[in-house]
Structure 1
Amino acid sequence: MQRRNSFGTQLRYWRKARGLTQFDVAMTSGYSQRHLSFLESGRSNPSRETVMVLAETLGVPVRERNALLDAAGFAPLYSQEPLTSEHLEIVLGAVHEVLASHRPFPALLVDRAWNTFALNETANVLFSQFVGGGDAYPSLDAVNAVRICLDDAGLKPFIRNWHGFMRGILGQLKTELRREVAHQGIAALIDDIQTALMASKADRDASLADDFPVVRLQLERDGMQVSLFTMMSTFNLPLDATVAELRIETFLPADAASRAFLMALDESVHGAGSQRAMSPTV
């Protein structure tokens, strides 16, 4: 979608993308259906407040809200700072503290297309042991967290439940795309996962069999086994598009053996008795 599209065209685009009628939006936003019709047709011009209310009603992502404001003739409200900006220094400093405090368990900082920008020491040490040989991944702090799971030189050969895990990721990405709508990075990941799943000879029905409450990442290599589940954290009420797209993915052990494995891994790096994050009882 071009940034310079008229406000009415963009409003109609987001309404239809959400599967809503003008009546639906009117009931939620507080504006009349007639007024919404006039806005979409260009017969009426919105105020700045109207743009923001409708963007909130339609769940328009922060970055795309600036395009709506521009189309309506208003200055952008949200900043779009690079991660290297001093403006984000305090926020990113807090992120790195969260990553470090999650030790002895892994944690990553990713964007909405799963590009990795940072990871804690545990994640680096752990996943480096399960990445295939060679020079394909000399560093893990700038990889795509999904693509490395699709790569035979990455984690793919060592994910015991690869088919079931990737089906879970596929569902998550499809949900994300329904919110983001036109995000090319997410759409490309979905296409690549679907292609890989179609080419897989795994028992697709068996891959769904798991009595754990959430999809797990089950890694196995040379006698090492670890089973993990994840939680995602985002910023509340972001006013910067870059910050709005960041996610902290924290990994937690899915069983007692995996917890013990991660604790032992931490001790091998830092020594016994070093300070650790609180560990859940499993």
Structure 2
Amino acid sequence: MTMITSAPGAGVGPLLRGWRERRRLSQLELALRAESSARHISFVETGRARPGQALLLRLAEHLDVPVRERNALLLAAGYAPLYPETPLDDPSMEALREGVERLLAAHEPYPALVVDGTYRVLAANRTMALLLDGVAEHLLVPPLNAMRLTLHPEGVAPRIVNLRQWREHLLQQMERQIALARSEPLRALYEEVSAYPLPEGAVDGPDEDASQLFPFALPMRIAYGGRVLNFLSTIATFNTPMDVTVSELAMETFLPADPETGAFLRSLLP
């Protein structure tokens, strides 16, 4: 995995070139999408021309540059950042917080949580406690981290029946995110959790191949109270975010993958 970087003071050109190459677009392809010319894109990338703010934002949009990194492009080009980064507990975020809390509560009795761009847990519903049964106390000290909780040998990992499959899925998910954003904290988290040793006995045998049991999607199979609960995971994000904080929020919801799991979860809450 490589990171898009440029030397301090190098300007916006190397950053744009890095994003374009990451998206595997030619200068001509990008120019056509952004209503510019390949010549002008070349001049911008080599520092011979300074892009206007409107063009820079169009380029960022067509390169699918994350909101946080769009601010970095603007700064490198000599413009003020356009997108604020508002703390989630700010009074201006009250409507968003209430909406998220309603969604989490409405998903019960199935587990759901909200994380930021580095998987820090910001909110969760009551059923998430079920998945955290037996997790070591030191992992439950705030701020909680969903990846750390899941993959640490003293976390949820020992109870995940198809751990090797689920671990590979999560690490690949992080790799895709690192490819999209220049996040050193996310990269550091990846290096940490990918180095965790597998808990003793965590070997998926033929009978534990979840893809054979659930061919439509890979589930997380977790042992709980003498039974195995099977979950499908979905992730939701906000469309067209205009704030860095909002752009990095993700709600992960766990749906029962079979009738038995659904019936058991419904029996837990009144």
What's the TM-score bracket when you normalise by the shorter of the two chains? 0.7 to 0.9
Residue number in structure 2 paired with 1:280: none
Deviations 1:244-272 (A, max 9, x none): 000011111111111111011113xxxxx
Tell me: CA distance 1:204–1:120, structure 2 relative to 1, closer, same or farther (3 Å). closer
- TM-score normalised by the chain length of structure 1: 0.84
- Quote how far apart the aligned CAs of 1:95 are: 0.9
Structure 1 window deviating more from structure 2 (14-23 vs 147-156): it is 14-23
Partner of 2:159: 158
* CA apart distance, 1:9: 2.0
User: Which residues of 2 match residues 1-282 of structure 1 at below 5 A?
Assistant: 1=5, 4-124=9-129, 126-128=130-132, 130-132=133-135, 135-138=137-140, 142-180=143-181, 182-196=182-196, 202-203=202-203, 206=206, 210-211=211-212, 212=214, 213-267=216-270
Secondary structure at 1:54's aligned position in 2? Answer: helix
Residue segments in structure 2 that go unaligned for 5+ positions in a row: none
Name the amino acid aligned to 1:247.
Answer: A
Contact 1:217/1:228 (<8 A) preserved: yes
Contact 2:235 2:253 in 1 (8 A): yes
**Contact map agreement 2:134 2:155 (CA 8 A) in 1:** yes
Give the drift of 1:28: 2.2
Q: Give the total of aligned pairs.
A: 262
For the 8 Å contact 1:166–1:193, the answer to whether it is kept is no
Counterparts of 2:177 and 2:32, CA distance in 1: 25
SS in 2 for 1:59: coil
Structure 1 residues 64-73 or 244-253, which shifts more?
64-73
List gaps (5 residues or longer) in structure 1.
Answer: 268-282
Of stretches 100-109 and 215-224 in structure 1, the one that deviates more from structure 2 is 215-224
In 2, Cα distance between equivalents of 1:137 and 1:195: 16
Give the conservation status (yes or no) of the 8 Å contact 1:163–1:197: no
Q: Is the 8 A contact 1:109 1:247 kept in 2?
A: yes
Given residue 85 of structure 1, which amino acid in structure 2 is its aligned partner? D
Report the CA distance between 1:135 and its aligned residue: 2.6
- The amino acid that maps onto 1:127 is L
Equivalent AA in structure 2 for residue 172 of structure 1: Q
Deviations 1:221-245, CA, capped at 9 Å, x for gaps: 4414311111111111110000000
* Cα drift, residue 170 of structure 1: 1.6
Aligned Cα RMSD in Å?
Answer: 2.3
CA distance in 2, matches of 1:94, 1:78: 21
TM-score (ref. length: structure 2):
0.88
Mark the CA change 1:191 to 1:209 in structure 2 (over 3 Å): closer, same or farther.
same
Q: For the residues of structure 1 that align with 2:47 and 2:226, how far apart are their CA atoms?
A: 65
Percent identity of equivalent pairs: 35
The CA deviation at 1:79 is 0.8
Distance in 2, matches of 1:178 and 1:135, equals 33
Alignment-derived partner of residue 279 in structure 1: none
Instruction: Show structure 1 runs of 4+ deviating over 6 A.
Output: 197-201
Please give the alpha-carbon distance, in whole angstroms, between the structure 2 residues aligned to 1:21 and 1:35.
13
Contact 1:136 1:154 in 2 (8 A): no
Equivalent residues of 2:152, 2:196 under 8 A apart: no
Q: Distance in 2 between matches of 1:4 and 1:239?
A: 26
Task: Write the letter of the residue equivalent to 1:241.
Answer: V
CA distance in 1, matches of 2:200, 2:71: 42
CA contact (8 A) 2:66 2:180 kept: yes
